[in-house]
Amino acid sequence: MIKYIQNLILFSVFLCSCVSDAERSTALVNVFVIDAPGNFEEVWVEILGVELKTTGTRGQDNAAPVFFENTQGNKQVNLSNLILDKQFLVGRGELLVGALIELTLKLGTDNYVVIDGTRFPLVFESNESQNPSLTVNYTLDPGISYDIFIDFEVFRSIKSQPDPANGFVLKPKLRSFTRADTGEIAGSILPLQENAAVYAIRGKDTVSSTAVDLTTGKFKLRGILGSHTVSIIPFNTKYLPETIPNVKVESRKITQINAITLRPKP
């Protein structure tokens, strides 16, 4: 009996050791897509999944990429809905600890936009455009869950063709961030039902962009840090653009700015 108990204790220690080793060697990664919508009613993109590349042995760039599949039955996502705090889970899984160095979004070919109730196809500019990649540098520690966001910037990703009947050209412009080291700017515009492009600008660079929720007039710029100028460009040309300078954003905090009433053009 004593020997049986000793063996049982040793087996339990072995199991605990295996769990500890696993926890020490992997991190859970969740990859989400959010959007910065353009002046479209709907933007439908087929997202097959995301490929992630990490550093390999001794920190070298020799690890095989890992594919997180979009497990939804319908893989089409209406990017225009992904504003404020809405997001779409592309895929999740475990990665070996180290550094995540590249994200590649895998897109299908059934993509289109809707304008005034009419559907127009989205055609990739090139083969590379169907699998857009981002170079990143996220440290993955053992036993930690990470939420990583891909901002699909529709404002910059879709261009018209000379003949509108041929649809639009899609060349995805992406950026990535985590909540751990960035913050947000939140605000609203009046009158309600007036949409606008809202930009966070730092120096000469547009860092983040979004649109307005028509029901509430609210907007949120995510994944930014430091001092920014907020620029608001109404889609309705009857209104003037607005600018709010020196909006400071801290890590893991939301900076709330006062409601903005759009001024009609003289």
CA nearest to 263, candidates 190, 197, 200: 190
Number of folded domains that form the chain: 2
CATH number of the domain where residue 175 is located: 2.60.40
For residues 40 and 76, the model is more confident at 76
Identify the weakest region by mean pLDDT among 117-126, 161-170, 244-253.
161-170
Domain assignment present for residue 3? The answer is no
What pairing do the DSSP bridges indicate for beta strands 196-202 and 158-160?
unpaired
Statement: residue 15 has pLDDT above 80: no
DSSP class of 129:
G
Q: Is there a domain that residue 10 lies in?
A: no
Q: Quick one: 63 and 103 in the same domain?
A: yes
Token pair 């869950």 in the structure block, residue: 145
Lowest-confidence pick of 23-37, 126-140, 229-243, 246-260: 23-37
Q: Are residues 95 and 203 in the same domain?
A: no
Residues 84 and 199 reside in one and the same domain: no
Reported pTM: 0.84
- 77 and 42 within one domain: yes
Residues 167 and 206 in one domain: no
Question: For residue 227, what are the domain limits?
Answer: 182-266
How much is the pLDDT for 14? 41
Average pLDDT (115-134) is: 93
Residue 192 sits in the same domain as residue 80: no
pLDDT in tens, 160-219: 887 767 889 999 999 999 988 999 999 999 999 998 999 999 988 888 888 899 899 999
CATH number at residue 255: 2.60.40.4130
Whether 16 shows a pLDDT value over 50: the answer reads: no
| 130 belongs to a structural domain | yes
* Residue range 60-76: mean pLDDT, rounded: 86
Residue from 194, 113, 198, 191 nearest 158 by CA: 113
Q: What is the pLDDT of residue 64?
A: 85
* Residues sharing a CB contact under 8 Å with residue 177, sequence separation 6 or more, in sequence order: 148, 149, 151, 222, 223, 224
Span 24-58, pLDDT tens digits: 688 999 999 997 666 788 999 999 999 999 986 55
Whether residues 114 and 135 share a domain: the answer is: yes
| 16 or 223, greater pLDDT | 223
Rounded to an integer, what distance in angstroms lies between the CA atom of residue 175 and that of residue 134? Answer: 7
Is 116 in the same domain as 223? no
- pLDDT for the residue numbered 40: 84
pLDDT, mean over the chain: 87
- Write out the two tokens for 78: 């209406």
